[in-house]
Amino acid sequence: MKKFLEYLKPYTKESILGPIGKLCEATLELIVPLVIASIIDNGISKGDTTHTVSMVALLILLGVLGLGFSVLAQYFSAKAAVGFVTSARHSLYSHIQTLSYSDLDRLGTSNMIALMTNDTSRVQSGINLALRLLLRSPFVVFGSMIMAFTIDAEAGGVFAITIPLLAIVIFGIMFITTPMHKRVQSGVDKILKRTRANLSGVRVIRAFGNEERELEFFTKENSVLTSEQKRTGRVSSLLNPLTYVIINLGVILLIYVGAIKVDTGTLTQGEVVALYNYTAQILVELIKLANMIISISKALASWSRIASVFEIKSSQVFGERVIGEGGECAIEFRGVSLKYAQSSDNSLENLNFKVLRGQTVGIIGGTGSGKTSLANLIPRFYDATEGEIVLDGIPVSNYSKEALAIKIGVVPQKATLISGTVRENLLFGSETTDDELWHALAIAQADGFIAEKGGLDIKVEAGGENFSGGQRQRLTIARALVRNPEILILDDCASALDFATDAALRSALKSASENTTTLIISQRAASVMNADNILVLDDGKIANTGTHDELLQSSVIYREIYESQFKGGSV
């Protein structure tokens, strides 16, 4: 709640003026039945045209004033709700950026997207309704009953009976359907998750001919959701019939009592009409109140989910070190093991090795051997669960986040480009001249096709969809080189390149960055065979180390990889 009030505090004025505007509108609305009663009793019945015209003018004035108060209340309520959610969404996004990869793995991508979109929208709707109706609806309900008692106590007794019955039906149905709505929303979330997975993996699904299988899964989940929605709809559909039965019975009783009192002269016709209008107002406001409570309940549940993320503190704590101690050892792993969250086994186990400054080290192994996991430990995407990683003589945990970002350049497996221009992608997180950008592109073997397409200011679609896989990989390599990092990690980032381009890339990297410590992670023996040292990983452990020639003699795993790619005719 403290966090909630923190975001609402800048909109204190709007949060006060919104409800006040609605209360003013409601007050005017309560006066309208009395004016109508006066028109009937003093204008129409007595044939007083002047009085009728003046009262009609008063009705128009009340309507205009009510509209003005309503518009102002809606404006201030919407401003407070939108402003609140804008600030909360911005803070949530910023907070997510501070979390570690492990924290994000536990939260889940789909959950984060739902929080940033569906949940924040529900909170916005809940705040808007609360500011407009939380005071207005009860005020009109009890105000109508009080006004009814001022007109006639016995007729007011009808209201005293009708209001509790209506409240029981409306809020009873609300309490029954609230958990049902939550189950429906859970089913919608599952459908969204399934749809998102299918859209992102559509090529894989089609490649393996699994469209029917995925359609079957979707149909099953959609059927469950449809059944739940039908059950919820059946209960919700009772609301209008039951409320209108009660209100009409109340109207019948009211008219019966009113007719008797009109005959005896205790009540006038206009007062009976006024009582009828108050009855209609009560029904409308109770239904509004029930819908508002449902929306607020959903908003509170959504805010609870959002607040739970705010309470998560990053599992990583960075130091303040900016530079290392120097020396000839650039990277050292000391008994390093890694276990991912919710995993029962180690992904990496007891890794011990050193990488000297300026060396090029190849890391090779089969799928799932831990190559990418090893690479993720150096820039602290993940923290080792055991052991220690040392960069330039200083434990990696002692460096600041900014220092690691400057010191280490990472080219991940998946080549991801942001929407914008080539220049904006290359300058992502760094500032430099056009000459240096072209130099980085030349090393990455990307200057040719960039020049052909129109230069640094050509458009890049989201994800780099207007470039081929190999072009995207070369652009991500260039982006890492722009910073001129001390340590360059190439995580299987040349898999889409032909062998000639791959060889040219490795040659350019070698000649252009003699002082850069380079880690080349690949499943291709050709990509690592010229490295100063090669680590062969198997099931999260270092099986062998050595040069290409040494490993051909000593490592069965490396020899099998090499022979399968060169002697087996497979490339």
pLDDT at 169: 83
CA distances to 36, 310, 430 from 61, in Å: 13, 49, 63
Instruction: Return per-residue pLDDT of the chain as tens, 571 residues.
Output: 677 888 888 888 988 999 999 999 999 988 988 888 888 888 888 788 888 899 899 999 999 999 999 999 999 999 999 999 999 999 999 999 888 888 888 887 777 888 888 888 989 998 998 888 888 888 888 888 888 888 888 777 887 888 888 888 877 887 888 788 778 877 887 887 788 788 878 888 888 888 889 899 889 989 998 998 898 888 888 877 887 888 788 888 888 888 888 888 777 888 888 888 888 888 788 778 777 877 887 788 788 888 888 888 888 888 888 887 777 888 999 999 998 877 778 889 999 999 998 888 999 988 888 888 999 999 988 888 999 999 988 999 899 988 888 888 888 888 888 888 989 888 886 778 888 899 889 998 888 899 988 888 899 888 888 888 888 889 998 888 888 888 999 888 877 788 888 888 888 887 776 778 899 998 888 888 888 999 999 988 999 999 999 999 988 999 988 888 886 544 4
Check residue 527 and report its DSSP letter: H
Cα–Cα distance for residue pair 363/134, rounded to 1 Å: 63
At CA 280, angle to CA 276 and CA 285, rounded to 5? 145
pLDDT at residue 568, rounded to an integer = 53
**What is the architecture, at CATH level 2, of domain 329-566?**
3-Layer(aba) Sandwich (3.40)
CATH 1.20.1560.10 segments of the chain: 2-310
Q: Which pLDDT score is estimated for 571?
A: 42
**H or E element, residue 561:** helix 556-566
Q: What is the pLDDT of residue 172?
A: 84
Residues of the chain with CATH 3.40.50.300: 329-566
| Residues contacting residue 556 through CB under 8 Å, at least 6 positions apart | none
How far apart are alpha carbons 234 and 230 in whole angstroms? Answer: 6
What is the spatial order of strands in the sheet that 386-391 belongs to? 348-356, 329-338, 386-391, 394-395
- Which alpha helices (H) appear in 108-152, and where do they start and end? 109-114, 120-133, 136-151
Prediction pTM value: 0.74
**What residue spans of 483-555 are helical by DSSP H?**
499-512, 525-528, 548-554
List, in order, residues 6 or more apart from 497 with CB less than 8 Å away.
445, 470, 473, 474, 505
Q: What is the pLDDT of residue 429?
A: 65
User: So what's the pLDDT on residue 537?
Assistant: 92
Nearest 10 degrees: Cα torsion 424, 427, 428, 431: -130
Which residue shows structure tokens 């309507």? 63
Q: What pLDDT is attached to residue 569? A: 44
**Lookup: tokens for 388:** 């220690």
CATH topology of domain 2-310: ABC transporter transmembrane region fold (1.20.1560)
